[in-house]
Homo-oligomer: A and B are copies of this chain.
Amino acid sequence: MSSEPPPTAASASAADELPADLTAATLSKKQQKKDAKDPFAANYGDVPVEEIQSKAISGRSWTKIGDLDDAAEGRSVLIRGATQTIRPVSKKMAFVVLRQSMGTVQCVLVANPDTGVSTQMVRFATSLSKESIVDVEGVVSLPKEPLKATTQQVEVQVRKIYCINRAIPTLPINLEDAARSEAEFEKAEQAGEKLVRVGQDTRLNYRAIDLRTPANQAIFRIQCQVENKFREFLLSKDFVGIHTPKLISGSSEGGAAVFKLLYNGQPACLAQSPQLYKQMAICGGYERVFEVGPVFRAENSNTHRHLCEFVGLDAEMEIKEHYFEVCDIIDGLFVSIFKHLTENCKKELETINRQYPFEPLQYLEKTLKLTYEEGIQMLKEAGIEIEPMGDLNTEAEKKLGRLVKEKYGTDFFILYRYPLAVRPFYTMPCEEIISGAQRIHTPELLAKRATECGIDVSTISAYIESFSYGAPPHGGFGVGLERVVMLFCALNNIRKTSMFPRDPQRLVP
């Protein structure tokens, strides 16, 4: 590949051709002509879009903001980032804070013929709109005092600055507003200052900006790590990752909470869980399977913890004798996830903590298992009466969670029914994030249960018949990825842990 010279003032002047709403923040033609006479004009400017369309490979190497530290002092660097803040100090000096994902670095422009920086270049930099994408070439230096940027110990003395893509001058969300913690709001209020709050709906309407806050950058990296660890642990236990269809005939769980559609003229619906299919995979001889995939619930639940589409983490496995085999997997799995986050995602957790302070989830190396009876006894001793064979309501469940935390020092525990439970499954901990069960593996009982649940058995006959071809006893569990992240980071709304959440009101973006 032929390499090309860096963009020149000529290309900078291509801003003339930019559409009206993008040029608002750019320099006037007159100013540009004047700047074109600047002997250092080649050191800055708008790069026309044509120049960025895979024309040439310069071979230059790019530095990550997160990699900058003291050791980089004196090094020349090339950085592409978003202009988070632009602060003119004088005609001859300005600061630009550049951001890349969770990291920011302060860039300093000081007009000086010796370094090729003109006052015109300083003006160009201060004319940039916030959140524009720019390339900065500069030299790393150590500031006299720590900076506000995440890369506190270094700054970049700018030699060249090019704008790759300008943001519109007035953004629907100011990133600083979106990134503030409750404590900052309180502090400002006490000082008589009124700061702008960005509501949940506004955030979600302009999610492409909202996602840039440090907390959001961290939340979805945590989410990715939860999924990775989920997969890694189960793979190490001989589970096979599978994918089952989301377009199905019939309804997977019954009830009204199902999205219906036409599939080539046939009535179809979206899977409310991979339950039937992961069980069929077990009947198909896979012994242990897991799936990570979307789950659809047409529920009209406008709560802080329900979504109409979420990511299900599901597993199903043969049981030799007892569903404790499933409990053991859940125990090992979640402890390994929690441990991984605690030990390897410190930066992300700290970042979330700065905007949304939280106590880290407490868990034990070996998950506490309590019988239902023991749970009831604990509640009883605390003055709460529960029917011995009845179900725990949300309030009792929460109370039990608090009692367990006090007594055993854990937020995470398994509550199981013993010796003969009302329901043939264990549910549980932490606001009932996980539910699981030993499943029915005989076709007759299955058909009976399905009918009792109001499901038209004819629509799931292939599923039921699967159990007449020789089916091993099995069990499994399912949990929402968004809920795990929400609970681990003690976030107050599940919409914070879904990149583009779907609730009864929200279908865009």
- Report A182-229 residues with CB < 8 Å from chain B CB: 205-212, 216-217, 220-221, 223-224, 227-228
Given the known inter-chain contacts A284-B207, A424-B53, A472-B164, please indicate yes or no for A80 contacting B318, CB distance below 8 A: yes
> Which of B164, B227, B283, B509 is within 8 Å of A463, CB to CB?
B509
List chain B residues, Cβ under 8 A from A171: 469
List chain B residues, Cβ under 8 A from A19: 444
Check A393 for interface membership: any CB of B closer than 8 A. Answer: no
The distance in angstroms between the C-alpha atoms of A463 and B246, with both chains bound, is 25
Given the known inter-chain contacts A228-B231, A246-B309, please indicate yes or no for A286 contacting B241, CB distance below 8 A: no
Using a CB–CB cutoff of 8 Å, the interface residues on chain A facing chain B are 1, 19, 21-22, 49, 52-58, 62, 80, 82-83, 99-101, 129-133, 164-168, 171-172, 205-212, 216-217, 220-221, 223-224, 227-228, 231, 235, 240-249, 259-264, 266, 268, 270, 277, 280-281, 283-287, 292-294, 296, 298, 300, 308-309, 311, 318-324, 424, 438, 441-442, 444-445, 462-463, 465-466, 468-473, 481, 498-502, 504-505, 507-509
> Which of B217, B319, B502 is within 8 Å of A286, CB to CB?
B217
Q: Do B469 and A264 touch (CB < 8 A)?
A: no
Given the known inter-chain contacts A241-B227, A259-B263, please indicate yes or no for A321 contacting B249, CB distance below 8 A: no
Q: Do A246 and B508 touch (CB < 8 A)?
A: no
Q: Do B508 and A471 touch (CB < 8 A)?
A: no
Q: Which B residue's beta carbon lies closest to that of A20?
A: B444
Q: Do B266 and A507 touch (CB < 8 A)?
A: yes
List chain B residues, Cβ under 8 A from A242: 220, 223-224, 499
Q: Do B165 and A441 touch (CB < 8 A)?
A: yes
List chain B residues, Cβ under 8 A from A285: 82, 99-101, 211-212, 217
List chain B residues, Cβ under 8 A from A129: 470
The distance in angstroms between the C-alpha atoms of A287 and B66, with both chains bound, is 13
Given the known inter-chain contacts A240-B220, A259-B263, A321-B58, please indicate yes or no for A168 contacting B284, CB distance below 8 A: no
Q: How many copies of this kind of chain does the complex include?
A: 2
A-B contact pairs, 25 of them (CB 8 A): A1-B324, A21-B468, A22-B442, A49-B442, A55-B322, A56-B322, A80-B472, A129-B470, A133-B471, A165-B441, A168-B468, A171-B469, A208-B283, A208-B465, A211-B281, A242-B499, A245-B294, A245-B501, A245-B502, A247-B296, A247-B507, A261-B270, A264-B298, A270-B270, A284-B499
List chain B residues, Cβ under 8 A from A247: 259, 270, 296, 308-309, 502, 507
List chain B residues, Cβ under 8 A from A262: 260
Q: Which B residue's beta carbon lies closest to that of A134?
A: B470
List chain B residues, Cβ under 8 A from A99: 285
Q: Which B residue's beta carbon lies closest to that of A62?
A: B320
List chain B residues, Cβ under 8 A from A504: 264
> Which of B49, B243, B309 is within 8 Å of A245, CB to CB?
B309
List chain B residues, Cβ under 8 A from A465: 206, 208
The distance in angstroms between the C-alpha atoms of A2 and B243, with both chains bound, is 39
Given the known inter-chain contacts A260-B261, A424-B53, A441-B165, please indicate yes or no for A286 contacting B208, CB distance below 8 A: no
Given the known inter-chain contacts A243-B311, A472-B133, please indicate yes or no for A300 contacting B507, CB distance below 8 A: no
Q: Do B246 and A471 touch (CB < 8 A)?
A: no
The distance in angstroms between the C-alpha atoms of A509 and B1, with both chains bound, is 52
List chain B residues, Cβ under 8 A from A228: 231, 235, 241
Q: Do A220 and B287 touch (CB < 8 A)?
A: no
> Which of B210, B249, B509 is within 8 Å of A462, CB to CB?
B509
The distance in angstroms between the C-alpha atoms of A333 and B488, with both chains bound, is 32
Q: Which B residue's beta carbon lies closest to that of A3?
A: B321
List chain B residues, Cβ under 8 A from A210: 284
Q: Do A168 and B469 touch (CB < 8 A)?
A: yes
Q: Which B residue's beta carbon lies closest to that of A52?
A: B473
Q: Do B321 and A54 touch (CB < 8 A)?
A: yes
The distance in angstroms between the C-alpha atoms of A311 and B283, with both chains bound, is 22
List chain B residues, Cβ under 8 A from A205: 462
The distance in angstroms between the C-alpha atoms of A245 and B498, with both chains bound, is 9
Given the known inter-chain contacts A320-B80, A507-B268, please indicate yes or no for A284 contacting B444, CB distance below 8 A: no
Instruction: Give the 8 A-B residue pairs with the shortest CB-CB distance, closest first.
Output: A211-B284, A462-B509, A167-B470, A131-B470, A208-B466, A261-B261, A212-B285, A208-B283
